[in-house]
Amino acid sequence: MPLVVLGLSGALTHDPSAALYVDGELLAAAEEERFTRNKHAKNEMPLHAARFCMRQAGVKPDDIDVVAFPFGKTSIFGKARWHYAKRYWYAPDRALDAIFNGNRHYRRNVKKVRGLLEQLGIAWNGIEFDAVAHHLAHASSAYHLSGFEGKTAILGIDGKGEYATTFFGYGERGQIHKIKEFYDPDSLGQLYASFTEYLGFEILDGEYKVMGMAPYGDPTLYDLSRLITFDGKEITVNTKLVNTIGLRRYKEDGKAYYFSKRLIDWLGPRRKGDMADDPYVHYAASIQKLYEDISLQLIEVYLGDILRETGRLVFAGGGALNVKLNQKILDLPYVKELFVQPAASDAGTAVGAAAFASWKRGVMPQKMEHVYLGPNYTTEECIEACTSHSGKPVFEQLDNVPNRAAEILAAGHPLAWCQGRMEFGPRALGGRSILGCPNTKGISDKINQQIKFRERWRPFCPSILDTVAEEMLQTDHPAPYMTITFEVSEAWQTRIPEVVHKDGTSRVQIVTEKTNPRYYALLKQMETLTGNGAVLNTSMNRRGEPMICSPTDALNMFFDSDLEFLFLEDILVTKQTQETQSTPGIKDQALSG
């Protein structure tokens, strides 16, 4: 009988997801937010995501052997709870709770999982429940899915799990060995998140914005080193300023933040609005540099010897989505191969917990080859969505979708591209994307202002053919998931300026024909028409919304933005005009492109 493992995340009340392994093969994975349309699906459990995974894999409730969840018990005899209590002495209720009731969150999570399984029809007494430590789940999601052979360094940077915040270890012959962990409140991830709040953004979404703002500033203008100290072995976050709890938190308009009034007194009022202005752009540059510097020093201390021996590093946790840090890591002379889990945040712990549970039972998880693990829809289902939609879209069925899309892009128009299975993780990789021609002047501003409604200084990224990657990036390192930024050659900076950031880098997706043949065909046609095998690629969603999932989701966004062209599988959708209001929904004649 095959080993069937269902992974569930949502341990920390955000980003719940589900993943399903059958005999070591990851058959499905999806975030709950894509189904409920509630960004990060806060305080939800992955009911819809789990149902999808089971349906996609053809698995019935009675077929499931193991349910894995990324949150474990923490012993009173370990360091974690005592460290938390000591460092949060100024909030005695929290400190005492950690000592005397330190597994309260674990018990609450188990109760939630049991309730979810009941909804799914999975009998608690019929499965093994595997509570995997949170950072071990992150580590497994990177190490076991990397495909790396031999000894491999493992890095995890996160806000926090049970109590741990940062993980250093290595993997060998499938076994994960812990070298060092740091504990709350001494968290690099939470430090960056706290400062993200100070810079006027929401935690979980704003970290990307801080990273995008940083290149506009000068990190030497302001010294933020008092936020954290590193003595060569330990990090200590200054909780008088950031990573604060209880009465120490700064409050404004009824909301409490994870920084103190002392930070306001030192640096000035919290940033508001959408402008990237002085001094906040310089603060962003400084916190980014501080984050990079401390991370690189820690890598040297705890992983340097292993990396000099093997050259292989895997990285997960929310901090791994900081693509500028990842570029600095890859630039280290002793790092030859870097795998960053594409769903590095807590959503990816569903995969990690399931992968670890599978390995523990003697079934090695397969290498992650792609992240097209979500739902897909037939052309017929897309047509049905169009005919029933209140916007009364005009649509036509095409013989050659890539060619027609490339013609529209080359003519300077952005378009929405919804093809195949939805991506797992935060990046659109040619499944649920908005695309543009990266040498069309002003296309980035148009997409930001008229379609996505984002801050104007937010950068866009390219998807490129594998055949041009080495020439453009001056390296042959893999980059299939938009998890690393690279220096773009001067020649390519002038060829595709709309997807090169202010500092001359791009967060690139290298596309292969094997993993996404239709998207690859589009890029090939763009190369024929424009000379550049590249497109601007951003997720199909508006500001503050999850990436779209279904044809109806796509149509809703299409009609609520200035998008003019939407490709849903084999059909091209446009909007009703005065001249076409009486035109039948689907044209009799297909286009050849």
C-beta of residue 505 within 8 angstroms of C-beta of residue 525? no
Residue 245 reports pLDDT greater than 90: yes
Q: Which CATH architecture has domain 379-574?
A: Alpha-Beta Complex (3.90)
Cis bond before residue 185 (omega within 30° of 0) = yes
- Mean of the per-residue pLDDT values of the chain: 95
Question: What digits encode the pLDDT tens for the residues 468-513?
Answer: 999 999 999 999 999 999 999 999 999 999 999 999 999 999 999 9
- Torsion over CA: 553, 554, 558, 563 (sign): positive
Residue 327 sits at φ, ψ, to 5 deg, of -65, -45
Contacts of 568 by beta carbon, 8 Å cutoff, 6+ apart: 377, 379, 382, 385, 386, 395, 418, 551, 554
CA gap 61, 117 in Å, rounded: 9
Please report the pLDDT score of residue 577 as a whole number: 64
Long-range Cβ contacts of 95-98 (<8 Å, 24+ apart)? 98/163
C-beta of residue 3 within 8 angstroms of C-beta of residue 358? yes
Please report the pLDDT score of residue 583 as a whole number: 36
Q: Cα dihedral angle (280, 282, 285, 291), rounded to 10 degrees? A: -80
C-beta of residue 10 within 8 angstroms of C-beta of residue 16? yes
Q: What's the gap between Cα 98 and its chain centre?
A: 30
Average pLDDT estimate for 200-227 = 95
Average pLDDT estimate for 514-519 = 98
Confidence of residue 452 (pLDDT cuts 50, 70, 90): confident
Question: What digits encode the pLDDT tens for the residues 522-543?
Answer: 999 999 999 999 999 999 999 8
Cis bond before residue 426 (omega within 30° of 0) = no
CA gap 84, 95 in Å, rounded: 7
Residue 168 sits at φ, ψ, to 5 deg, of -125, 130
CA gap 495, 17 in Å, rounded: 39
Question: What digits encode the pLDDT tens for the residues 160-185?
Answer: 999 999 999 999 999 999 999 999 99
Strands 571-574 and 17-22: unpaired
CA gap 476, 465 in Å, rounded: 13
Average pLDDT estimate for 59-80 = 97
Confidence of residue 57 (pLDDT cuts 50, 70, 90): very high
Please report the pLDDT score of residue 579 as a whole number: 46
177 catalytic per annotation: no
Task: Supply 350's token pair.
Answer: 């569903």
Confidence of residue 585 (pLDDT cuts 50, 70, 90): very low
Place of tokens 């202002």: 449
Residue 332 reports pLDDT greater than 80: yes
Closest CA to 458 of 215, 197, 195, 282: 215
CATH superfamily of 188-336: ATPase, nucleotide binding domain (3.30.420.40)
CA distances from 480 to 14, 371, 576 (A): 26, 10, 37
- Write out the residue limits of the CATH 3.90.870.20 domain(s) in the chain: 379-574
Helix (H, G, I), strand (E, B) or coil at 94: helix
C-beta of residue 152 within 8 angstroms of C-beta of residue 314? yes
Residue 593 reports pLDDT greater than 80: no
Residue 299 reports pLDDT greater than 60: yes
Question: What digits encode the pLDDT tens for the residues 537-580?
Answer: 999 999 889 999 999 999 999 999 999 999 999 999 999 764 44
Residue 80 reports pLDDT greater than 60: yes
Catalytic residue among 14, 83, 135, 413: 14
4-145+340-360: in CATH 3.40.50.300: no
- Torsion over CA: 494, 335, 327, 71 (sign): positive
Please report the pLDDT score of residue 455 as a whole number: 78
Per-residue DSSP letter, 448: I
Task: Supply 204's token pair.
Answer: 């979980």
Distance, first Cα to last Cα, the chain: 48
Average pLDDT estimate for 278-293 = 97
CA distances from 408 to 114, 374, 440 (A): 50, 27, 12
Please report the pLDDT score of residue 182 as a whole number: 98
Report the amino acid identity of residue 398.
L
Confidence of residue 268 (pLDDT cuts 50, 70, 90): very high
Residue 590 reports pLDDT greater than 60: no
Closest CA to 215 of 285, 159, 165: 285
Confidence of residue 273 (pLDDT cuts 50, 70, 90): confident
- Write out the residue limits of the CATH 3.30.420.40 domain(s) in the chain: 4-145+340-360, 188-336
Residue 584 reports pLDDT greater than 50: no
Please report the pLDDT score of residue 276 as a whole number: 78
Please report the pLDDT score of residue 581 as a whole number: 41
C-beta of residue 187 within 8 angstroms of C-beta of residue 347? no
Question: What digits encode the pLDDT tens for the residues 403-434?
Answer: 999 999 999 999 999 999 999 999 999 999 99
Residues in the chain: 593
